[in-house]
Structure 1
Amino acid sequence: MNKNLQQEPIADIVAALKNNNVIAYPTEAVFGVGCDPDSELAVTRLLALKQRPVDKGLILIAASFEQLKPYVDEQALTAVQRDAVFSRWPGPVTFVFPALPSTPRWLTGRFDSLAVRVTDHPLVKALCLQYGKPLVSTSANLSGLPPCRTAEEVLQQFGGEFPVLRGETSGRQNPSEIRDALTGELFRQG
């Protein structure tokens, strides 16, 4: 893949994020929709688009664990628990961490925890690096419709002007596995 071909589209998507817009991008299995996790306006737009209640909480996807540190209480994990998490990252496994008290409720919902993932998808990683922070990540689909697996499906469901980072998913059939970072308990099979 020619990295120069991706720079302009990533810059366009970063500009959309900075304007509090919801964007779409390929992930390990399906396209995701996301936004700036620190913008209540952007998250409210995403929740309205998805018809998702705020109390369910959201997932953050990042290029590195460093990007997630402002949101999760890493001190709550033992060395063994941290090793278990880091042995699965980067990759398609989401872990639920205790959230820092400063983490906004529009991210955690009714929980005192936050689901986070360090991705190994090259485009999402590049996007998070260029934006300088993680993104909210939920499947790209309107309520009642299947998750989008291509940019064209995103544009069909969300409209031709929707900001989409074009690219391929990693080809996984199932969404990311979700586990508790403290106990290892499986919440969703991957």
Structure 2
Amino acid sequence: MVHRVEELKSLVRMLPLWAASIMAIAAGSHNFTFAIQKARTMDRHLTPRFQIPPATMIIFTTLTMLVSLAIYDRVFVPVARRYTGRQSGITYFQCMGAGFAVAALGVLAGALVEAKRRAAAADHGLLDSPGAVVPVSVFWLVPQYALHGVGDALATVGHMEFLYDQSPESMRSSAAALFWVAGALGNYLGTVLVLVTVVQSASRGEWL
């Protein structure tokens, strides 16, 4: 019984850092919702007769995540290991922190592009035309998606290493479940933040 209590305590001690990852997930959750809606209102033409579907922009997050994971594992970790002496190259705290920082840059990039899109819509009198196409290339969204891909790769690696390393052996499956719970809560939090923004800005017209 005492052993079980100690295991539970060790799991509870991980919760503060686990909870920190929820904000990073919330930051990237809009790439799968509002960023796609923004893409629908932007110029998506590759040729005069062909335009890409807005949801395909997510491929830039997937690609950068895959490339980042490969570079991290095959290039960065071996180099960092020589200087730090750690098998993992850097600590999971540093890895998660780097992921959070890059995710913040992704949010900043998204905000700058949204300001550009809104300004272009205002200049062309399209603010009250939700179905209109704003004359701004959809590929302005690529930095936002790419940065979130890099941030997700770093934060995910650090988060999983932290949960697996710090949890008791008998509770590692529960620790892995916490990772997915954080993902769910992060997406719900992203939705709540959007709803709050919409309500608070309703008096000044539609936000998106």
Q: What TM-score does the superposition give when structure 1 sets the normalisation length? A: 0.24
Q: Which structure's residues are more often helix, by fraction?
A: 2
Q: Which has the larger radius of gyration?
A: 2
Q: Which structure's residues are more often strand, by fraction?
A: 1
Q: What TM-score does the superposition give when structure 2 sets the normalisation length? A: 0.23
